Structure 1
């Protein structure tokens, strides 16, 4: 018997709004070693045809985390609580991103998670939750779609 709540398969979380703050984007860009001024300087970004500084592609992870934090603050379960993720035995599995459009400073985006499936591996020693996260802009549509798997390494007595 696994730990994940498999009855949540197919559920889509309510959309959570996240505003991408310029200072946080600049800090993130500097932290990851980004030197291109379109990620750091609003004037350079505008000169390159962007409305404001660009969010680095890897910032999508941060946006997802911010959405989970806001869900908890609003009294909603974050994705781990929703699927009954147990941090004592949780492992990070695969992760992939499909980019459909850029994110900019001062964008307010909506983030939703879909619990797409649950599978087992290693003869039942592992159970895997498959999550799709979408970051959407109200006028530019889908910006980022992320697929990830979260893994429980089950105690031997819980393995079939």
Structure 2
């Protein structure tokens, strides 16, 4: 089954709030070799004007993944996980993510481009804080092979 072109324009419900924890930021920073002190030391982060440790820019993927799971779980999507590759990722920040933030993501499918037996699925997640203020927009491109191809 090919990827369902009717996914374009579909907007999924907001995710449950994700509380950004200091240890999660530290763990993520270690995993991506982000060794600047503001990622692990609250005092270093405060010296730079932040309230707590600052997440590396790619940390937004942790929150986006919660929203992306909604798309991948759609029974009519035509997306088969065993034939899926994460092809591209972009971030557009209003402000950095900081430990203590409570974030919610709303996922939408913005485009599908087919090429042979494959489809490039572009989706965006708007991530906002507890006050509803924009923090970051993540854009993902997934490459999906056609099932049974």
TM-score range, shorter chain: 0.7 to 0.9
Please say if 1:34 is aligned against 2:11: no
Name the counterpart of 2:70: 78
Which structure: larger Rg? 1
Aligned residues: CA RMSD: 2.1
How far the C-alpha of 1:138 sits from its partner, in A, is 3.3
Residue in structure 2 matched with residue 133 of structure 1 by the alignment: 125
Give the TM-score normalised by the residue count of structure 1.
Answer: 0.80
* 2:82 alignment partner, SS class: coil
Gap runs ≥5 in structure 2: none
Matches within 5 A, 1:1-160: 2=2, 4-16=3-15, 17-65=17-65, 67-68=66-67, 78-82=70-74, 83-121=77-115, 124-139=116-131, 141-154=133-146
- Partner-residue secondary structure (3-state), 1:46: helix
CA distance in 1, matches of 2:134, 2:28: 22
TM-score, length-scaled by structure 2: 0.85
Segments of 5+ residues of structure 1 without an aligned counterpart are 70-76
Aligned length: 146
**Structure 1, residues 101-151: CA drift from partner, whole Å, max 9, x if none?**
111001001111101122211xx2212221111211133722111212212
Structure 1 residue runs of 4 or more that deviate by more than 3 Å after TM superposition: none
State the secondary structure of the residue aligned to 1:88.
helix
